[in-house]
Amino acid sequence: MIGRNGMRDSILRPSTQLPNVEDRLPRYVCVLARVASELVSDVVRFVPIVVFLMILLGGVAAFASPLTILYTNDIHDRLGSLAGLGELIEQERSTGNPVLLFDSGDTWQDFRAPLCAVWGSDQTVAWMNDVKYDAMEIGNHDLYYGADKLAELSSKSDFPVLCANMVPLAGHKAPFAPYTIISAAGMRVLVIGVITAEYLSYPDYPWLKYVDPAQAIKRVLKETQGKHDFVIVLGHLPVAQAAQIARVVPDIDVFLTGHSHEITPQPVKQGKTLIVQAGAFGHYLGRLKLQIDPQSGKVISAQNTLLETKKNPVDLDRGYLKLFTVAAAIATSLLLLFH
């Protein structure tokens, strides 16, 4: 068959396809038809690959368990932040995904805000019970009230208060536990607490022996071998120190830190360990959204967000109002006494 355009037609025309029709059609229609036919054959060729990928991804999604870890640190009795934090926590719980809520210490005390601290520690513990914390690590500030007050606050807490690297000497009992194991997202989640050696109030606690955090974590991991699928450390210590620990103890999945008032918009990664911190004073609620393979406990994907809280100045004023009331009562008593 010889086309109107001779040689050029024979190049464009497939040798066995519709020669008569093609000859009768304008040239651009033939080109379009050929492009369309190649496109269709390309799509057909890739369909099995696309289907395979969809099955694979669907399989991963089907087997992955979502787990949201909410975290705070160094709240330092800032009562004005608690309502805002509570709202954010409620919002996250309302999504229906499994949620764990942790605090990494320096929660109940602060020299810089004595009014909040004096009146606020019990209020903060009550709030933590209300919003259902799953565990907290004590910070150096939380020890400053002394052993009796620490024991009282700890006993009022509906959640485990942790610290694995301050070990009571024989005959003494600490008002905290080294670790706890929580069921979440179909896994046994081991939660270990550790504290920095910086600014520890040793004179109040001569019966506590400080142990290197990495050694303490290793000891707990050995003790709980085979009893957990996922490991979270609550560390009242800076991000850099957490990275050093994760280098020595590579089994930690998530390391929630504190003490240094750092902000980690993205998790700092050391090996498989995701290290985060949420600033201080309840300005942020940290949210680490994970997809985890429940069989291996391996994190498939992680998304970290620092959610900003709204401040409630009314709550802050309560401390001053209380102080004013007490001062007025003392002044009245003195006046009556010396009148």
- State residue 293 phi and psi, 5-degree precision: -80, 110
Query: Which region, judged by CB under 5 A, interacts with Zn ion, from 111-119, 139-147, 204-212, 329-337?
Result: 139-147
The answer to whether 102 and 69 have CB atoms below 8 angstroms apart is: yes
Residue 86 engages Zn ion in binding (rule: CB under 5 A): no
Residue 109 engages Zn ion in binding (rule: CB under 5 A): no
Q: How far is the CB of 90 from Zn ion (least distance, A)?
A: 27
- C-alpha 271/C-alpha 291 separation (Å) is 18
Give how many residues touch Zn ion by CB under 5 A.
Answer: 4
Q: How far is the CB of 140 from Zn ion (least distance, A)?
A: 5
Tell which one of 77, 103, 106, 110 touches Zn ion (CB under 5 A): 106
Residue with tokens 């005959």: 171
- C-alpha 207/C-alpha 53 separation (Å) is 59
Q: How far is the CB of 54 from Zn ion (least distance, A)?
A: 49
Strand-strand pairing, 273-276 and 268-270: antiparallel
DSSP letter (8 states) at residue 199: T
Q: How far is the CB of 280 from Zn ion (least distance, A)?
A: 9
Residue with tokens 């090996």: 271
> Based on CB atoms, which residue is closest to Zn ion, 197 or 211?
197
Site string for Zn ion, 240-279 (x = CB under 5 A): -------------------x--------------------
Name the residue among 209, 210, 222, 125 with its Cα closest to residue 179. 222
Pair of tokens at residue 293: 């393979």
- Residue type for 338, please? F
Burial label for 215, CB within 10 Å (0-12, 13-18, 19+), is middle
> Based on CB atoms, which residue is closest to Zn ion, 196 or 309?
196
Q: How far is the CB of 195 from Zn ion (least distance, A)?
A: 8
DSSP letter (8 states) at residue 237: S
Strands (E), the chain: 65-72, 99-103, 135-137, 161-162, 166-168, 179-184, 187-195, 208-210, 230-236, 254-256, 268-270, 273-276, 284-293, 298-308
Q: How far is the CB of 163 from Zn ion (least distance, A)?
A: 13
The answer to whether 284 and 88 have CB atoms below 8 angstroms apart is: no
> Based on CB atoms, which residue is closest to Zn ion, 149 or 259?
259
Q: How far is the CB of 207 from Zn ion (least distance, A)?
A: 21
Q: Name the closest residue to Zn ion (Cβ).
A: 259
Residue 140 engages Zn ion in binding (rule: CB under 5 A): yes
Tell which one of 80, 86, 98, 139 touches Zn ion (CB under 5 A): 139
E strand or H helix that includes residue 159? none
Query: Which region, judged by CB under 5 A, interacts with Zn ion, from 99-107, 117-125, 181-189, 223-231?
Result: 99-107
Residue 110 engages Zn ion in binding (rule: CB under 5 A): no
Residues found near Zn ion in the complex (CB under 5 A):
106, 139-140, 259
